[in-house]
């Protein structure tokens, strides 16, 4: 995707939104919503997209099977980090648009969060996570796809390792944040969308690094400093995904 085409796409979405009188007032209460709860929208793909997603999943399962065969002898990658640019979400329910902005910027360019929000139909109730991969494909030109139904922590860790180490691709998770589990958060959040940019499996240092667009301290007087590049024990991230609405990832 060229810079000129991307700029034209951003301007077109903004112009369309303005023409239709689109615009929602910022919610005042600190919600920090990820995927909204009222509905479970199915992930709709074109035939070509479904074929590409199936190809990616087959490649992942082949890598995963090979990893299990040699796991007792060698680990593919004990650690791997990418560095994504940080962007703070501009209000308390724009974690989805901000996450798309972070990853779009990683691939070389970015629009305003309002553009991504218009593209995904974000409301004050949050972002439907099944639309985040559509926005990433549209703006980055990289074949990101939504993957639901994570069943156990090991499956999550393998998805993280594959996306980062094998594809060199930051991924996105949809999590429920329990203040009793997450060591930087002081409040529970029902839904949050956040990019993953690194992992480290060395010895006891089993961690995952996020690039969080949300700073809890901006919305709560006793909130935690959660914004930006933050490292968490990988079990906390897995718990957040496994207790989320659909237990899903995008890579």
CATH number of the domain encompassing residue 192:
3.90.70.10
**Considering the domain boundaries, does residue 98 fall inside one?**
yes
Q: How many domains does the chain have?
A: 1
135: DSSP letter: H
**Considering the domain boundaries, does residue 56 fall inside one?**
no
Which residues, 6 or more positions from 165, have their beta carbon under 8 angstroms from its beta carbon? 76, 77, 80
CA proximity to 150, closest of 169, 131, 171, 167: 171
Burial 112-137 (b: 16+ CB within 10 A, else e): ebbbbbbbbebebbbbbbbbbbbbbb
Q: For residue 204, with 0-12 CB atoms within 10 Å meaning exposed, 13-18 middle and 19 or more buried, which class applies?
A: exposed
Which sign does the torsion angle of CA 49, 53, 54, 58 carry? positive
Tokens 């301290």 belong to which residue? 217
Mean pLDDT of 43-66: 95
**Considering the domain boundaries, does residue 18 fall inside one?**
no
Model confidence at 24, pLDDT cuts 50, 70, 90, reads very low
- Of 13 and 77, the structure prediction assigns the larger pLDDT to 77
**Considering the domain boundaries, does residue 109 fall inside one?**
yes
Could you tell me the pTM of the whole model?
Answer: 0.86
Domain that holds residue 101: 74-250
Can you give the pLDDT at residue 17?
44
């Amino acid at each position: 995707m060229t810079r000129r085409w991307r700029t034209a796409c951003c301007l077109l979405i903004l112009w369309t939104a303005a023409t239709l009188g689109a615009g929602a007032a910022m919610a005042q209460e600190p919600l920090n919503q990820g995927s909204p709860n009222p509905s479970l929208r199915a992930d709709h793909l074109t035939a070509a997209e479904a074929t590409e997603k199936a190809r990616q999943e087959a490649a992942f399962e082949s890598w995963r099977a090979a990893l299990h065969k040699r796991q007792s002898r060698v680990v593919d990658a004990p650690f791997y980090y990418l560095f994504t640019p940080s962007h703070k979400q501009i209000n308390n329910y724009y974690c989805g648009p901000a996450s798309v902005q972070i990853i779009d910027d990683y691939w070389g360019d970015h629009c305003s969060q309002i553009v991504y929000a218009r593209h995904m139909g974000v409301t004050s109730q949050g972002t439907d996570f099944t639309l985040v991969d559509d926005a990433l494909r549209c703006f980055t030109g990289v074949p990101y796809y939504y993957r639901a139904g994570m069943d156990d922590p090991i499956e999550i860790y393998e998805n993280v390792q594959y996306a980062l180490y094998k594809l060199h691709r930051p991924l996105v998770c949809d999590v429920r944040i329990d203040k009793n589990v997450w060591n930087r958060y002081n409040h529970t959040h029902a839904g949050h969308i956040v990019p993953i940019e690194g992992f480290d499996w060395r010895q006891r240092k089993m961690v995952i690094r996020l690039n969080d667009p949300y700073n809890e301290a901006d919305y709560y007087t006793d909130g935690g400093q959660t914004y930006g590049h933050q490292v968490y024990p990988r079990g906390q991230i897995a718990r957040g995904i496994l207790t989320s609405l659909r237990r899903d990832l995008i890579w």
